[in-house]
């Protein structure tokens, strides 16, 4: 459809970047990046009339994006205009304006383009030997100052390296080590860093990516004060296992793996530091809260759980109000079966148990409404949890006492 529209509107359109990379790797990709000559926005408007998606344009940058209901994203950028100043050499002009666009990209494997116009539909354009690097499994920057120009590429390189099981090409690796030494990542805005971290944490190989941040000495700029210990590595891998486990066994519970990985990391820092890092990373409150709750609670709960066998009512009191992250982090942090059993018992059973009787029943029994109600009901719930009362009648009898 895009190709037909391109011909009809008489514009040159190339599919570029991750879409082509993934096509060659035989990986599904729902984001289509298009380079459009001479202008992306009018073409995006025409295209969207046909597709009926949600269109956003940025006049200043000459870019547009279309989001389709099926979750497909189409990003359109305008190819650099300055090369049109030489109309006499049109074919080369066309090549060089695309080249200019591709040269601004991060790694050779992301510079592949494919013409969508006919004739020549589907012609692969490989100006920087991206195919060679895809075949060899290499992440390679296009020029030596790449990481200095945009230090965020350091993190992107690690994300792609781990996602595809590729290697950092030798020069790229030494440029990256240099970038780590000179702490260039500190120049990246906190917002961009946050966005990249979100993407990294969504990866299947997020634990490996985080560990790579440490071994490449980039972590101090992201998680200052945290050191990579064996316990941390184990906890990160265990956190991933716990997410799989929870998805299988607790299908009604939403577990965000990234929250668990961050909590697993922050458990290495004193609480105040952990809070500071969350702020630095610009984590929104909704994400910060469960992470910090887990970081604060896990050492305390672990100690209590391992010290004594607790009654169900005591477990309830211990875990009540804790987010699922706390329970999973406890499990990831300790292989003790008592911890495993207690957390599963609470989440699957205990937290759903309520007394049969209500405030209404208490009123009928002559209790005066007030804070005492809650106390009586909690008492009855504890008795129920411990199996000391089994039905409504027994609960009423207990309330009377």
Which residues sit at the interface with ligand ATP, rule CB under 6 A? Answer: 17-18, 31, 33, 105-106, 110, 150, 152-153, 156
| DSSP assignment string, 186-255 | GGS-HHHHHHHHHHHHHSTTHHHHHHHHHHTT-HHHHSTT----HHHHHHHHHHHHHHHHHHHH-TTS--
The residue (of 147 and 316) whose beta carbon lies closer to ligand ATP is: 147
The residue (of 115 and 331) whose beta carbon lies closer to ligand ATP is: 115
Shortest distance in whole angstroms from residue 2 CB to ligand ATP: 16
Residue number of the CB closest to ligand ATP reads 18
Shortest distance in whole angstroms from residue 44 CB to ligand ATP: 16
Residue 37 CA to residue 165 CA, distance in Å, equals 35
Shortest distance in whole angstroms from residue 220 CB to ligand ATP: 21
**Helix (H) or strand (E) run with residue 153 in it:** helix 152-164
The residue (of 167 and 275) whose beta carbon lies closer to ligand ATP is: 167
Across-strand partners of 55?
66
Q: Which two tokens stand for residue 109?
A: 């494997």
Shortest distance in whole angstroms from residue 150 CB to ligand ATP: 5
Shortest distance in whole angstroms from residue 209 CB to ligand ATP: 12
The residue (of 18 and 323) whose beta carbon lies closer to ligand ATP is: 18
Pairing outcome for strands 31-37 and 54-58: unpaired
Residue appearing with tokens 């895009």: 2
| DSSP assignment string, 54-81 | EEEEETTTTEEEEE-TTS-EEEEEEPPS
Residue 273 CA to residue 194 CA, distance in Å, equals 18
Q: Which two tokens stand for residue 236?
A: 């990160």
The residue (of 152 and 206) whose beta carbon lies closer to ligand ATP is: 152
Shortest distance in whole angstroms from residue 112 CB to ligand ATP: 9
The residue (of 169 and 395) whose beta carbon lies closer to ligand ATP is: 169
């Amino acid at each position: 459809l895009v190709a037909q529209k391109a011909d009809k509107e008489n514009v040159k359109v190339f599919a570029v970047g991750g879409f082509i990379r993934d096509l060659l790797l035989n990986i599904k990709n729902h984001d289509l990046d298009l380079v459009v000559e001479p202008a992306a926005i009018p073409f995006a408007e025409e295209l969207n009339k046909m597709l009926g998606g949600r269109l956003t344009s940025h006049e200043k940058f000459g870019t547009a994006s279309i989001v389709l209901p099926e979750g497909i994203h189409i990003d359109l950028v305008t190819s650099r205009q300055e090369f049109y100043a030489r109309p006499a050499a049109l074919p080369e002009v066309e090549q060089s304006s695309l080249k200019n666009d591709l040269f601004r990209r991060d790694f050779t494997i992301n510079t592949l383009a494919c013409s969508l116009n006919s004739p020549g539909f589907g012609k692969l354009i490989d100006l920087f030997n991206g195919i060679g690097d895809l075949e060899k499994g290499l992440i390679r920057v296009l020029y030596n100052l790449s990481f200095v120009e945009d230090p965020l590429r350091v993190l992107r390189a690690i994300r792609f390296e781990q996602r595809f099981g590729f290697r950092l090409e030798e020069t790229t690796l030494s440029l990256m080590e240099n970038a780590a030494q000179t702490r260039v990542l500190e120049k990246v805005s906190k917002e961009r860093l946050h966005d990249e971290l979100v993407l990294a944490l969504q990866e299947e190989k997020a634990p490996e990516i985080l560990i790579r941040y440490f071994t490449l000495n980039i972590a101090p700029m992201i998680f200052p004060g945290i050191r990579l210990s064996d316990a941390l590595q184990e906890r990160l891998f265990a956190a991933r296992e716990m997410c799989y486990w929870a998805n299988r066994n607790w299908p009604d519970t939403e577990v965000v793996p990234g929250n668990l990985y961050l909590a697993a990391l922050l458990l290495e820092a004193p609480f105040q530091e952990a809070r500071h890092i969350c702020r630095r990373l610009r984590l929104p409150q909704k994400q910060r809260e469960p992470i910090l709750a887990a970081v604060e609670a896990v050492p305390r709960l672990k100690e209590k759980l391992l010290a004594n066998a607790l009654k169900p009512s005591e477990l309830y009191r211990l875990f009540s109000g804790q987010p699922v992250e706390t329970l999973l982090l406890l499990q990831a942090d300790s292989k003790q079966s008592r911890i495993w059993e207690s957390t599963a018992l609470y989440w699957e059973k205990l937290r759903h148990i309520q007394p049969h009787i209500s405030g209404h029943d208490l009123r009928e029994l002559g209790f005066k409404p007030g804070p005492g109600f809650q106390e009586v009901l909690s008492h009855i719930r504890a008795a129920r949890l411990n199996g000391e009362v089994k039905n409504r009648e027994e609960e009423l009898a207990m309330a009377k006492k």
